[in-house]
Amino acid sequence: MTEETKNIYIVRSGEAALKGQNKPYFEKMLAERIKKLLKKFEGTEVRRHEGLIFVRTDKSVPEEDVIREMKKVFGIQSISPAVSCEPDMKSIGEKAVEYMMDLIEKKGVKTFKVEAKRADKSFPVKSPDIARRIGAAVLKGCKVLSVDVHEPDVYLFVDVRPGICYIYQKKIAGFGGLPLGTNGKGLVLLSGGIDSPVATFMMAKRGMQIEAVHFHSYPYTSERARVKVEELASILAVYCSRFKMHIINMLPVQEEIVKNCPQEETTIQLRRFMMRVAERVAKNNGCDMLITGESLGQVASQTSDALVVTDASVSIPVMRPLIALDKVDIMDIARDIGTYEKSIEPYEDCCTVFLPKHPVTRPKLAKIEKSESALDVEQLIETALASEEIIDIYPA
């Protein structure tokens, strides 16, 4: 069965394909996600077959558009736009010539090499012979071409399967990772900075569904600062799908900390409250863990001592996917996923309100807890939670 009216894409699922008995589950989740993102295109069909996913769209849908959407899907290792033909040597030879003619015209291709494989072991010609014979057919049909087995302009992949043969020339890399929704739900502490959006992306890439909490200190932080975070979240929703964001005012907590605790401790005290409030939000919303954009040693509140003190405030697991990354590497990922430009827009963050001049870099838990005993912790958590607003974040 060949389909002259359809564009075909072969999608490889990378790590999801290694999951043993769970493989069908991972592949099903991946196919569902692809289906969801491509449903806006005419005539889209998504089918799983023999460990691959085959996507078909109407010919009128531009290839770039389909590839752009599929590149947002976690769990895809690579994508190959392909053509198909009957699985017999004559049809394959003719199709290969037609395919290469098109590449000569559009890309000025001069050299090629055929790579053949037969998933259908009953096909009468063995792979090396398919390659040799199709190579000869292409040379005969496309006089300008020559074979270069070392550095060809293009590889011509011939993939013979039961009832159909696919021909393609490139493998476009996806993000890899695991399909969204295959690995629990995490609550990310999302600031307007560079780091936490990258942390969100990295956990979602491992299949984790995301929810977010953002803390502000209105009116010390502006309405515009909040809009910026919502816009940043929308960029993340492109990859993470629609998610909920909890928006919470920490100003009453900050005022109590500033009034009652030593000035150099205010940042670490605030961080402990952020974690506690986030822990409550997580538990109320079925999130298994917290996610932050902390990276070891990046600022005073991210030294190893500070992280120990911060962690001690909650019992829920805290994931810090950026912990061992350098800032330049984090910035590279931010650029790659499209959050960087938004992150560097200059708006105030609640962490920078009442910022101490000399924050402690080596806080000790006993001392921090002692200072904290001047506060009504439970009451402050309740006050913060009472300000909670919940909004839906849609893909940008």
Residues that bind ligand ATP (CB under 6 A): 189-191, 193-196, 213-215, 292-294, 298-299, 301, 349-351
Dig out the tokens for 300 from the structure: 């005073």
Which residue, judged by CB position, is nearest to Mg ion in the bound state? Answer: 193
Q: How near is the Cβ of 258 to ligand ATP at its closest, in Å?
A: 16
Q: How far is the CB of 216 from ligand ATP (least distance, A)?
A: 6
Q: Radius of gyration (Cα) for the chain, nearest Å?
A: 27
Bridge-partner residues for 6, per DSSP?
58
The option from Mg ion, ligand ATP, none interacting with 371 (CB < 5 to 8 A, set by class) reads none
Report the residue closest to ligand ATP, judged by CB: 193
Provide the β-strand partners of residue 85: 165
| Partner whose footprint covers residue 292, from ligand ATP, Mg ion, none (CB < 5 to 8 Å by kind) | ligand ATP
CA-based nearest residue to 217, from 235, 244, 191, 194: 191
Long-range contact set of residues 17-25: C-beta below 8 Å, sequence gap at least 24? 17/51, 23/51, 25/182
CB of 193 to ligand ATP, least distance (A): 2
298 binds, among ligand ATP, Mg ion, none (CB under 5 to 8 A by kind): ligand ATP
The helix (run of H) or strand (run of E) holding residue 363 is none
Minimum gap (Å) between residue 311 Cβ and ligand ATP: 13
Whole-number Å distance between alpha carbons of 89 and 125: 8
User: At its nearest, how many Å lie between Mg ion and the CB of residue 295?
Assistant: 11
350 binds, among Mg ion, ligand ATP, none (CB under 5 to 8 A by kind): ligand ATP
Task: Select from ligand ATP, Mg ion, none the partner in contact with residue 215, using the beta carbon and a kind-dependent cut-off of 5 to 8 Å.
Answer: ligand ATP
C-alpha to C-alpha distance for 241 and 264, rounded to whole angstroms: 40
Alpha-carbon distances, residue 379 vs 57, 177, 248, 254, 375 (angstroms): 56, 41, 15, 13, 9
In the complex with Mg ion, which residue's Cβ is closer, 57 or 191?
191
Picked from Mg ion, ligand ATP, none, the partner binding residue 196 (CB below 5 to 8 A depending on kind) is: ligand ATP
- How many Å apart are CA 153 and CA 188, to the nearest integer? 45
Q: How far apart are CA 226 and CA 49, in angstroms?
A: 45
Find the shortest distance in angstroms from Cβ 326 to Mg ion.
Answer: 17
Q: How far apart are CA 215 and CA 319, in angstroms?
A: 18
Which of residues 196 and 313 has its CB atom nearest to ligand ATP in the complex? 196
Identify which of residues 142 and 384 has a Cβ nearer to ligand ATP in the complex.
Answer: 384
- CB nearer ligand ATP, residue 70 or residue 213: 213
State in angstroms the smallest separation of the CB of 168 from ligand ATP.
40
Q: What is the DSSP string of 284-349?
A: HTT--EEE----TTSSGGGSHHHHHHHHTT--S-EE-TTTT--HHHHHHHHHHHT-HHHHTS----
Closer residue to Mg ion in complex, CB, 279/349: 349
Residues in contact with Mg ion by the rule CB under 5 A = 191, 193, 349
